[in-house]
Amino acid sequence: MTAVTEIGYERRGPAAWITLNRPAKRNALTPVMLAEAHRALDRAEADDEVRVLVLTGAPPAFCAGADLSFFQAMVAEPDGCDRFLAGLMHPLAELTARLRGSSRPVIAAVNGACAAGGLELILACDLVLAAADATFTDAHARLGIAPAVGAAAGLVRALGELRAKQLLLLSDPVDAATMAAYGLVAEITAPADLERRTTELATTLSHRSPVSFAAMKTMVHQALQPSWEQTLASDLAFFRQNWASPALREGLAAYATHRAPKFAPPPPPSH
């Protein structure tokens, strides 16, 4: 594998494998990683021999979401919201948009824990394969924030309203078998077989029509309302509004000190 600091890139036959490569941090997303992910995608898109994109993580996790140490550092800065959005949230939103908009089929090979921003990444992919021991979590409610890159809308579209609420509100890990029953995961494999099965599926897809894939992805996306662009704009607007709120500060402080958060009660309803 040709590793480029925080992202690995490798051509395997007709597939370009893009690997989130911060295993010691469970592949938590950083500005450097996202910038390199965009460059890896540029490289794949410039290669006419690439018919399929594969997104995975360096073991033992797929992606733990945003790097919370970077998040915490920005909360204390006067211009922290703008810097955090520019460094991490906007590049992540653009990456999900590129994955969704790619004319090539995109496979997420989920090899371990997939949380928050990791969940947002796989919701931008076309097919999700998962190791039997993979888990899926939306942990935003534990941190006093909400998904900012389309996870809520993506989960509703993938799972339905009530199951999406279950995943979002409880913020507990859900196993791969359950997510397959819900419809998000297309196929489960033994952990040792995930790479082989992903390669097999990529080879199968490589023999299908690229013109058909591009058209069909566009057709599916046009059938969804509101548009992904509108969803992202709404999510990011709420993120900015909630920046440095008491709930966010308490959530991050609790995470940093390994304690349960103590959130204030909800405000009274407006009339």
Instruction: Please spell the DSSP secondary structure of 31-45, one letter per residue.
Output: HHHHHHHHHHHHHHH
Instruction: Classify residue 264 by its DSSP letter.
Output: P
What is the set of domains in the chain, with CATH numbers? 2-256 (3.90.226.10)
Q: In this predicted structure, what is the pLDDT of residue 3?
A: 47
Q: Which stretches of 58-209 are DSSP H helices?
A: 68-75, 80-84, 90-101, 117-123, 151-159, 161-170, 176-182, 194-206
Greatest Cα-to-Cα distance within the chain, rounded to the nearest angstrom: 61
Name every residue whose Cβ is closer than 8 Å to that of residue 159 and which is 6 or more positions away in sequence. Answer: 167, 182, 183, 184
Q: In this predicted structure, what is the pLDDT of residue 224?
A: 83
Residue 238 burial (CB count, 10 A): 14
Nearest to 55 by CA among 5, 98, 24, 116: 98
Per-residue pLDDT of the chain (271 residues; tens, 9 = 90+): 444 589 999 999 999 999 999 999 999 999 999 999 999 999 999 999 999 999 999 999 999 999 988 888 898 889 999 999 999 999 999 999 999 999 999 999 999 999 999 999 999 999 999 999 999 999 898 888 888 888 999 999 999 999 999 999 999 999 999 999 999 999 999 999 999 999 999 999 999 999 999 999 999 988 887 888 888 889 999 889 988 888 988 998 888 888 999 998 887 776 6
Q: In this predicted structure, what is the pLDDT of residue 116?
A: 93
Distance in angstroms (rounded) separating the CA atoms of residues 177 and 145: 27
Q: In this predicted structure, what is the pLDDT of residue 225?
A: 79
- Does the predicted TM-score (pTM) go above 0.85? yes
Q: In this predicted structure, what is the pLDDT of residue 268?
A: 77
